[in-house]
Amino acid sequence: MPAADVEDAIVACGRAGVGVAIVFAAGYAEVPDGAERQASLLRVARAHGVRVVGPNCVGVVAAPSLAASFMSGLEQDRFDLRDDGIAFVSQSGAMGAFILNLAQGEQLGLGLFVSTGNEMDVTLPEVLGELVEDASTRVVLGYVEGIRDGRAFEDALAAARRRDLPICLLKVGSSERGAAAASSHTGSLAGADVVYQGVFDRYGVHRAASVEELLDFGRVFALAPRAAGSRVSIITLSGGAGALMTDEADVVGLAVEEWDEPWQATMAAGLPAFASTANPIDATGVIAIDDTALRHAMTVALTHPGTDVVVLVLGNLDGEEERICSVVLDVAATSTKPVVVTWVGGSGLAPRLLHAGGVPTFSDPRRTMRAVGALCRQSATRAVAAPRQDRLGIDIDLPGPGPWDEHVAAGVLAGAGLPMLRGCVVTTPQEAVAAAGSMSRPVVIKLLSTQVHHKSDVGGVRAGLTSDVEIASNVVDVLEISASLGLADGRVLVQPMASPSVELLLGAHVDPVFGSVTMVGLGGIHAELIGDVRARPGPVTPAEAREMVNGLRGAALLRGARGQVAVDMPALAETVAAFSQVACSLEDRTASIEVNPLRFLADGTPIGVDALMIPIDQEDA
């Protein structure tokens, strides 16, 4: 029905005792003038005790008998709704309908589909939480545009991780344009993609890069048993195929380890003399024509103690599919280890037969290994509660409402126990020389003002000063810069210079969805030009901090590469975790906090060199 009639219908539902209504109509918060219309609908629904899915959604489908939807794709007779234990929730009605149709057409049963639309009432995190409690759910797929309640989302993901339920999400909005499109489409906040990725990392969410990959993840989790580890044995009828599969395995972190001599001999006993048995195992084309050889190769691989997953690579073989698939299914049924097949080309019969028998099959080596990679990553985090750290609620006394200069910001952080390089505030060259007399040289002098956050941009940083003359003359220059900028509070900060080392950027900001978010990245161009940063909602644990640091593309520099000082990783992790607690404690008073750079002393321990704090009601200048 049209939006104009929906409120009356909701009133009627409430009077009739109907507890849930699905609103398909559009024209609500997803359009500029629809927010008040949606707010009015919500008031009516709550007043009459009716929960609402939507508006602006395409409904709910539960195989095999419920189709509370007007999707045209459900009218097609080329497939029947089936349920493989896969639940699917989508914030986009159209994309959800496309994906549901595609999956059913590929013999993949998305048994439950929920389109949440504008999420006026029922939200994706709420649906996700319910799916986690449903014992029939084997895997949850999701199409996500943006989350409004970050805490509820994290709670649902944490519950899924405790149950060891795979969550696979296609999250759009990774680009600035994509994020804007997602926000305008749903009326929600897309949020910074790096923050969402941090949430996914925290809870072991499998992020799909495409619709195809989302369904691949669903298939492997719905059909395959869990892997005990990430060691893969590859059986092929072609050496070239084995090399390609090994390359793809390496990309996703799977181990294709060479078998030892006794096991190679066992494998070789049932194969031609020209077969290669090291792993990948080139069993030769004999496995396509000799059922005994195929059965032998698979059985030995599944018995091999260093194998967690067996990947079988075949292709074409029109007219032979039924025979070969029968052998594959027979052998796979004898083991609790996953068997995953890559079948390239052919009539299409083999994938249908193997899927029906519970063996996931893909047409491309990359798809296979990415799906197997997800299967193995799930095992690595099996039944481990997500490490959501409690807030300590540190009592921090800020000097007034702000703004604050660098010296004050560093003092606040140092007072909370963070290692910060301190200095002296001066207003004349003579004071600067006197202050430097008590410091190791060289020293650095900086323009100090609440009105200038990026001092180097205005020439307000002078480093490597050793003599009194240098110090005095540079202080004069910096004070002249202050005067030229009209800074009423312009002064000079004198500090000993920290030894050169690899630099990190440590920051926190208040995200509108997830609250205080802690970020760590390599400093300089690594953070600014190539975005080498990791972020997670705070507070983070030391273990999470270590994961964030190790996840940086330039993490090798922190381990001493290219002559850099190897950092004290436990000390760094504790510093990041402590910083995160401080940021959470100041969440209602600061919009952002930054230590940049964070350097490292000769013993590898971290030291903050510069600090910045922005009050909650001010923009960074």
Do residues 466 and 573 share a domain? Answer: no
Do residues 206 and 260 share a domain? Answer: no
Q: Alpha-carbon distance 537 to 182, whole Å? A: 21
State the CATH number of the domain containing residue 294: 3.40.50.261
Q: What pLDDT shows up at residue 394? A: 82
195-204 pLDDT, tens digit per residue, is 999 999 999 9
Q: Report the 3 state secondary structure along 463-507.
A: EEECCHHHHHHHHHHHHHHHHHCCCCCCEEEEEECCCCCCCEEEE
- Residue 374 half-sphere exposure, CB side, CA atoms within 13 Å? 29
State the CATH number of the domain containing residue 453: 3.30.1490.20
- In this structure, are residues 334 and 363 in contact, taking their beta carbons and an 8 Å threshold? no
- Could you tell me if residue 272 is inside a domain? yes
Do residues 211 and 242 share a domain? Answer: no
- Could you tell me if residue 565 is inside a domain? yes
How many helices (DSSP H) and strands (DSSP E) are in the chain?
21, 24
Q: What pLDDT shows up at residue 270? A: 98
Q: Report the 3 state secondary structure along 128-152.
A: HHHHHHCCCCCEEEEEECCCCCHHH
- Could you tell me if residue 42 is inside a domain? no
- Residue 266 half-sphere exposure, CB side, CA atoms within 13 Å? 16
Q: What pLDDT shows up at residue 175? A: 67
Do residues 514 and 558 share a domain? Answer: yes
151 burial via Cβ count (<10 Å: 0-12, 13-18, 19+): middle
- Could you tell me if residue 486 is inside a domain? yes
Do residues 470 and 568 share a domain? Answer: no
Do residues 449 and 345 share a domain? Answer: no
Final residue of a structural domain among 470, 496, 522: 496
Q: What pLDDT shows up at residue 621? A: 43
421-448 pLDDT, tens digit per residue, is 999 999 999 999 999 999 999 999 999 9
Among 214, 187, 193, smallest CA distance to 57 is for 187
State the CATH number of the domain containing residue 542: 3.30.470.20
Q: What pLDDT shows up at residue 187? A: 37
Total tally of structural domains belonging to the chain = 4
Range of the domain at 270: 226-380
Do residues 212 and 103 share a domain? Answer: yes
Final residue of a structural domain among 432, 461, 496: 496
Tokens 């802690």 belong to which residue? 518
- In this structure, are residues 309 and 373 in contact, taking their beta carbons and an 8 Å threshold? no
Among 27, 93, 107, smallest CA distance to 361 is for 107
Q: Alpha-carbon distance 579 to 573, whole Å? A: 10
- Could you tell me if residue 231 is inside a domain? yes
Do residues 145 and 196 share a domain? Answer: yes
Do residues 197 and 267 share a domain? Answer: no
- In this structure, are residues 74 and 61 in contact, taking their beta carbons and an 8 Å threshold? yes
Q: What pLDDT shows up at residue 185? A: 39
- Could you tell me if residue 412 is inside a domain? no
- What length is written for the chain? 621
Do residues 290 and 374 share a domain? Answer: yes
Dihedral of the alpha carbons of 118, 122, 124, 127, in degrees to the nearest 10: -150
Final residue of a structural domain among 222, 250, 277: 222
Helical H segments across 187-238, by residue range: 193-203, 211-223
Do residues 160 and 95 share a domain? Answer: yes
Do residues 547 and 491 share a domain? Answer: no
- Could you tell me if residue 543 is inside a domain? yes
Q: Alpha-carbon distance 501 to 498, whole Å? A: 8
Dihedral of the alpha carbons of 269, 273, 276, 278, in degrees to the nearest 10: 40
How many Cβ atoms sit within 10 Å of the Cβ of residue 387?
16
Q: Which residues of the chain fall short of a pLDDT of 50?
A: 183-191, 383, 620-621
pTM above 0.85, yes or no: yes
- Could you tell me if residue 555 is inside a domain? yes
